[in-house]
Amino acid sequence: MTGLVVTTCNFIVILCFCIGVYDVMKNAFEDCECDMPRTHGTPDYARVSLPDHVSRGFPHYGLYLYMQDWQYNEIPNKKLRGIPVLFIPGHRGCMKQCSAVASHLSTVAAAREHERLFNVFTMDFNGGYSAFHGPSLYNQIQFARHCIENILKLYDSTPSHIRPTSIAVIAHSMGGVVARGVLSLTDMDVAAINSIYSLATPHLSPLISLDHGIVDIYNLINSYWKANQRILNNITLVSVSGGINDIQVNDEQTRIPHPNKALSVTATMIPRCVPINDCTTF
């Protein structure tokens, strides 16, 4: 009788474990399907030309400028005069996820006629597995550095009094790790980024340590930010977690592991905020 009870308990434990593994893997590898918000015009994505060595080095990646029909008349001869914002998608993310942010910024700019437009750029990582594969995460960090440098070059012909010298970064999930990783590169000008807003980003440590390369990158990033707080003090870093809605990235994981000019907040504690920025519904 005791043997039957033990066997039954073992079977139940194994069954629960298999169901849990299936649920995690199903959520982790699900296709990127984003519910796009309504916009003022038809969204369009104009590919941004990058230097040949960048295109050859990262043939599966791309940089795009988000535009709407009504914006074309706002950009004389397609010369950029707005405030540059870069969206970095996360693990298995898609570049079109930026439409939620870009649409809101467009609405804000349209309501304030005296204000400058926002030029929202978005990166295409071809659905890379940045949460599981160290080399993929490293390549995304390197590509993001090239993108930031080339975005600022697009404003070379912009009048000096409105020419931007830095950009704001909005990142989802592992995109936040990419953003912080860019600033950890020794040959990166930290003044090129003025702020990072991360949504459901596991800043503290990898969610799943399947690759030692992921752990090494996390250690390098967190060590660099801790040791160079004075250099990075001019960069505002905000981390927003999805709260109980996020079953993959908990609040503790989104905590920023260094004290300099950083704010960690839970979406459920922000007044009038609809907390949907978890890893599966952004």
Highest mean pLDDT out of 146-155, 209-218, 233-242: 146-155
Can you give the CATH number for the domain in which 171 is found?
3.40.50.1820
Tens-digit pLDDT profile for residues 111-141: 776 567 889 999 999 988 888 888 999 999 9
Query: Is residue 143, in this structure, part of any structural domain at all?
Result: yes
Q: Is 97 exposed, middle or buried (0-12, 13-18, 19+ CB in 10 A)?
A: buried
Q: Alpha-carbon torsion 94, 95, 101, 102, what sign?
A: negative
Query: Is residue 276, in this structure, part of any structural domain at all?
Result: no
Same domain membership, residue 7 and residue 128: no
Q: Which helix (H) or strand (E) holds 196?
A: strand 193-199
CA distances from 129 to 18, 132, 138, 172, 219 (A): 22, 6, 11, 14, 19
Same domain membership, residue 17 and residue 139: no
Q: Could you list the active site residues?
A: 173
Q: How many domains does the chain have?
A: 2
**How high is the mean pLDDT of the chain?**
80
d(CA 242, CA 201): 10
Q: How many CB atoms lie within 10 A of CB 133?
A: 16
Q: Are 227 and 220 in contact (CB under 8 A)?
A: no
Residue 247 three-state SS: coil
Same domain membership, residue 106 and residue 87: yes
d(CA 13, CA 126): 37
Question: Which structural domain range is residue 58 located in?
Answer: 33-269
Q: pLDDT grade, residue 233 (50/70/90)?
A: confident
pTM of the model: 0.80
Tens-digit pLDDT profile for residues 158-185: 888 889 999 999 999 999 999 999 999 9
